[in-house]
Chains A and B, each alone.
Chain A
Amino acid sequence: MLSFVQTALQKRVDDFHAHERIDFDFHRSSVASSGNERLKRAIDNAVLRSDRGRSLKLLELPDSDKLRDLAGEIKQHTLDHLDYYLEQTAINVEKRGGQVHFASTGAEAKKIILDIVHKANCHNVIKSKSMVSEEIELAHVMEAAGINVIETDLGEFIVQIDHDKPSHIVTPIIHKDKESIAELFSNYFGTPYNCDPDALTKQAREYLRDVFRKADLGMTGGNFIVAETGDICCVENEGNVRQSMTTPRVLISLIGIEKLVPRMADLSVMLKLLARSATGQSMTVYSSIFSGVRKAGERDGPDEFHLVLMDNGRTEILASEEYRETLRCIRCGACLNACPIYRKIGGHSYGSVYPGPIGALLTPMFQGLGEYKDLPNASSLCGACYEACPVKINIPKHLISLRRDIVDQKISSPIERIIYRIWAWTYMATWRYKLISFGQKTVLRLQAGGSSWLKRLPPPGSGWTQVRDMPTPAAKTFREMWNAK
C-alpha cells in the first residue's frame, strides 16, 4: 500500500517536472527589466545600502583583506579534502542520533525528503529560507505531493503566496514595493489594504505563529557544517529557523556538500565576515548551532533529525581545479550588491535562483553552458564582485574562462563565430583596420547628423543601442591625431 502511494506521489512529482519548461532568453529578460525604472530604483536603493554597509562594517576588523584571505583558504582547504570532511561530518551527526543521506541529484534529494515526510507521517511543514531548496524547487514539489508546506521567512512567504520567484539570495523580495505586498495581503487574507511595513509584518507574524504551533516537520538549510562536531550553523534575523529547530518533532536540514568547515573555531572567521558582507551587520540576530536529536530529558527540539547532503552538479565543479574555488561561496550576496549589472537588471533576468556575478558562474556550471551561454557575458569585468567577496572567489577571471569555454566548445551561434573571424582578420592588417575605421566613422557621423549621440546603430550593432545611446565617433581618429602631432 505504502509503495503504491509512493509511486503515485513520484508520478505527481515527475509530472510537475515535465511541466517545468526551461525557456530562458537572457537578452529578452534583461532588456525587459532594464527598461523598468521603478524596479531599477527599488533595487538600486536596497542594494547600494547593503554595499555601503558592508564597506563600513569591514572597517571594524583588524585587517579585513587578510581575514578574507584566511576565510578563502579555510574553504579551499575543505574543498580540497572534501571526502575526508564529509565522512567526518556523517560520523559525528550519526553519533548525535541524526541520520545522514547523500543525494547525487536534486531529484534524489527530493525523493529522500518526501520519503522522510511520509515515513514520519508529517503533514505540516515549516520551511525556512535556503538557497539549495530554491535550487531544486523543493516547496513546489512538496506542495505537488499534497504536503502543507509554508515558507516562514517573511520575504519567502510573500514570494510563496504571490507565486513569484526570489530575486536576491539574501533579500528575496527587493523587486517588490510595499504597495504590491499590501495588495497581495489584502487579497490573500481578505483584510483591508494597509501598506505600512510594520502592519504587514505583524499580519504575517500572527498568521505564521499559528502555523508554527501546528508544525510537525521543520526544514532548514545551513550556512556552515562543522565537520569535527557535526554541527549545522544557520544564521538569520527573524527567528523562523529557530522555530524549525525547536517546535516540530522532525527536522530535516538540506545542505549542499560544499558548505563544510573543518572546525568549530572556523565559525569565528566565517561569522565575522558573513553578516558584515551580506547586510552590513556585525552579527545576524540569531546564529544557531545544532545537530542530532534532542538529548535525554530535553523537552523541545526534534526527536528525529536528518541531514541531507546534496551534490547536484557540485562534484563536476569540484573536479575542475580551475573552477573548484567557486564552491567556496558562502552565499552572502555581496557580489550582487556590488555589481553594476545586477543593479540595472535585477535578479530575475538571470533566469535562475543564483543571480548576479556568482549566478553568472554557477548557473551555467550547474545547468550547462548551452542555455545560459549569455550569462558569462553579463558582466563589465569591473572586478567589484571580486573586491567584495569574503572568500575571495576571483569571479571576473572565471567569467572570462567561461567565455573561453563557450568559444572552445563552439556553443556560440555560427553567425557570431563568422563575425568574430572577420573581425579578427580585419584587425590583422593596418590597411584593413584603417579602411574599416574610416568607413565606420563616416557612416556613423553621417547618421548622427551633427548630434553627439547615436540613438540607433545599424545591425548587427542594433541590439547594443536598444537600451543605450552610443557616442558619435570623433571627427578625427586617434591615428589621425597622432600623425598630425
Chain B
Amino acid sequence: MNDPSNVLGKVRRSLGRTAPLTRAPVPPSLSEPLIRLVLSDIGLPQLFEKKALENKIGVTPLRVDDLAAELVAFLHSKHVKTVAVPKSAFLDRIGAVDALRAAGFVVSTWDEMTVDDMYDVDASVTDVWKAVAETGSLVVRASPEHGRCLSLIPPLHVAIVEPKNCVADLIDLFETATASGDASAFTIITGPSKTSDIEMNLVIGVHGPEKVHVFLLA
C-alpha cells in the first residue's frame, strides 16, 4: 500500500477517530423481501428465456440431441466461417466442438490462441458460468480455459446454457460468487453491446458482440 500523503489518516481524522476500529463494523442487514424479485426456483429456464428475449438476446430452447445440428445450421445462416471456443469439458461432452469441425468450420480453442487472434474470428461458442433468470443475463467467468475476450471481441457470441446454470436472482448470483470467490473477473452480460449516445438513438453493436444467441438445453 502506497499512501505518501496519509489519506487513510485523513479519512480517520475526518470521522473523528484517532485509532483504527478494533472491531469490524456491522453493515445494515439486507432484507430479502425488499431486494429479491424472483421468489421461486421453479421455472427458472423459462423465466431466463423470457427476460433474455426482452434484452434482445436470441434464445433457442432445445434438447441436447438436437444441439449439434441446430448450432451448425445457425452459424451457417450467419455466414460464420471461423469459430473460437473455450477449453470446456462440457462442450466436448455434448459434442459441440466435433460437430462444428465436422461441418467444416475452422475452430480454434482458447488455449491455443492469443487475444489478437480473436479479432479475426467470426463467432465464439461458449459455455457459461451462470445464467440469471431475474435479468435474463449470462455470466461468464475468467479462467485459464475461458478467456475474458471470448464473449467480447467476436461480433457474434453463442452461449450454451444448461438448466443447472440458472440462478433465480442477482442476490443468488452474488452469494455464489462470494462463496466461490476465486476468479480474477466475471462479467454479467445482459444483451448485445449497444449505445444511445447519439441523440438517444439505440444502436446495437459497439465494442462488444452485436449479436448474442443462447441455445437453452432442456
Q: Which residues of A contact B (CB under 8 A)?
A: 42, 45-46, 49, 60-63, 66-67, 70, 73-74, 77-78, 80-84, 86-87, 90, 94, 96, 99-105, 108, 112, 152-155, 158, 171-174, 176-178, 181, 197-198, 200-202, 204-205, 208-209, 212-213, 228-229, 237-240, 242-243, 245-247, 257, 262-269, 271-272, 279, 282-301, 309, 311, 315-316, 318-319
Given A238-B195, A238-B208, A282 and B135 contact (CB-CB distance below 8 Å) = yes
Instruction: From B33, B144, B194, B203, name the one whose CB has the most chain A CB atoms within 10 angstroms.
Output: B203
Contact A238 B193 (CB under 8 A): yes
In Å, the complex CA distance between A74 and B34 comes to 14
Residues on B with beta carbons closer than 8 Å to the beta carbon of A279: 196
A81 and B190 form a contact (CB under 8 A): no
Q: Are the C-beta atoms of A283 and B206 separated by less than 8 Å? A: no
15 A-B residue pairs with CB within 8 Å: A46-B200, A70-B31, A152-B207, A153-B197, A154-B195, A155-B197, A229-B178, A237-B195, A240-B207, A246-B149, A263-B178, A264-B177, A265-B178, A286-B208, A288-B186
Q: Measured between C-beta atoms, what is the minimum distance from B211 to chain A in Å?
A: 13
Residues of A within 8 A of B77 (CB): none
Please tell me if the beta carbons of A301 and B185 are within 8 angstroms of each other in the complex: yes
Q: Which of A80, A102, A178, A237 contacts B1 (CB 8 A)?
A: A102
**B40: interface (CB < 8 Å):** no
Name the residue of chain B whose CB is nearest to the CB of A73. B28
Question: How far does the alpha carbon of A229 sit from the alpha carbon of B184 in the complex, in Å?
Answer: 11
Docked CA distance A105–B201 (Å): 38
Distance in angstroms between the alpha carbons of A174 and B142 in the assembled complex:
35
A271 to B192, CA, bound (A): 18
A165 to B192, CA, bound (A): 28
Q: Which residues of A contact B185 (CB under 8 A)?
A: 245, 288-291, 301
Query: Given the known A-B contacts A86-B8, A242-B152, A318-B14, are A267 and B174 also in contact in the complex, defined by CB atoms under 8 Å?
Result: yes
Report the bound CA distance from A187 to B153 in whole Å. Answer: 28
Q: Which of B2, B37, B119, B188 contacts A102 (CB 8 A)?
A: B2
* Contact assessment for A200 and B198 in the assembled complex, using a CB-CB cutoff below 8 Å: yes
Q: Which A residues are CB-close (under 8 A) to B195?
A: 154-155, 201, 237-238
Residue B65 at the chain A interface, CB threshold 8 Å = no
The distance from the CB of A95 to the nearest CB of chain B, in whole angstroms, is 11
Closest to B19 in A: A83
B residues less than 8 Å from A82 (CB atoms): 11, 15
**Closest B residue to A245 using CB positions:** B185
Q: Shortest Cβ distance from B19 into chain A, in angstroms? A: 10
Chain B nearest Cβ from A179, distance in angstroms? 10
Q: Is the CB of B188 within 8 A of A298?
A: no
Residues of A within 8 A of B66 (CB): none
Q: Pick the contact of B30: A78, A108, A269 (CB < 8 A).
A: A269
Say whether B60 faces chain A, with CB atoms less than 8 Å apart: no
A299 partner, pick from B8, B111, B173, B209, beta carbons under 8 A: B111
Question: Considering residues A105, A172, A268, which has the most beta carbons from chain B within 10 angstroms of its beta carbon?
Answer: A268
Main SS of chain B's interface residues? loop
Q: Return the contact of B142 from the options A152, A177, A178, A301 (Cβ within 8 A).
A: A301
Taking a contact as CB atoms under 8 Å apart, the answer to whether B191 and A285 are in contact is yes
Determine if B206 and A205 form an interchain contact, defined as CB atoms under 8 angstroms apart: yes
CB distance from B149 to the nearest CB of A (A): 5
Interface of chain B residues 1 through 18 with chain A (CB within 8 A): 1-8, 10-15, 17
CB distance from B194 to the nearest CB of A (A): 5
| Contact across chains for B206 and A104 when beta carbons are under 8 A apart | no
Residue of A nearest to B208 (CB): A239
Within 59-84 of B, Cβ neighbours of A (below 8 Å) are at none
Is B193 touching A102 in the complex (CB atoms < 8 A)? no
How far, in whole Å, are A198 and B119 apart by their CA atoms in the complex? 21
Q: Would you give the shortest CB distance from B117 to chain A, in whole angstroms?
A: 11
Instruction: Identify which of A81, A178, A290, A311 contacts B198 (C-beta below 8 A).
Output: A178
* B207 and A87 within 8 A (CB): no
Expressed in whole angstroms, the minimum distance between the Cβ of B30 and any Cβ of chain A is 6
Interface residues of B in 29-56 (CB under 8 A from A): 30-31, 33-37, 55
17 further A-B pairs in the complex, CB-CB below 8 A; given A66-B34, A201-B206 = A83-B11, A83-B20, A99-B2, A100-B2, A154-B206, A197-B203, A198-B203, A266-B30, A286-B189, A286-B193, A291-B184, A293-B184, A294-B184, A299-B147, A301-B148, A315-B7, A318-B11
Residues of A within 8 A of B10 (CB): 104, 311, 315
The CA of A90 and the CA of B173, in the complex, are separated in Å by: 24
Instruction: Scan residues 139-169 of chain B and give those whose CB is less than 8 A from a CB of chain A.
Output: 142-144, 147-149, 152, 169
Could you tell me if A266 and B177 are in contact, using CB atoms closer than 8 angstroms?
no
- Cβ-defined partner of B184 (8 Å) among A108, A205, A271, A298: A298
Residues on B with C-beta less than 8 A from A153 are 197
With a CB–CB cut-off of 8 A, which chain A residues contact B104? Answer: none
A84 to B15, CA, bound (A): 11
Q: From B3, B119, B187, B207, name the one whose CB has the most chain A CB atoms within 10 angstroms.
A: B207
- Our pick among B21, B137, B207 for the contact of A208 (Cβ within 8 Å) is B207
Q: Is B171's CB within 8 Å of the partner chain A? A: yes
Report how far A96 CA is from B184 CA in the complex, Å.
Answer: 8
Q: Shortest CB–CB separation between residue A233 and chain B, in angstroms? A: 10
Given contacts A268-B171, A283-B190, contact A299 B110 (CB under 8 A): yes
Closest 4 CB pairs of A and B: A239-B208, A297-B144, A290-B185, A239-B207
Chain B residues whose C-beta falls within 8 Å of the C-beta of A200 in the assembled complex: 198
- Contact status of A238 and B3, CB under 8 A, knowing A268-B35, A301-B184: no
Q: Is B170 an interface residue (CB 8 A)?
A: yes
Q: Which residues of B contact A90 (CB under 8 A)?
A: 1
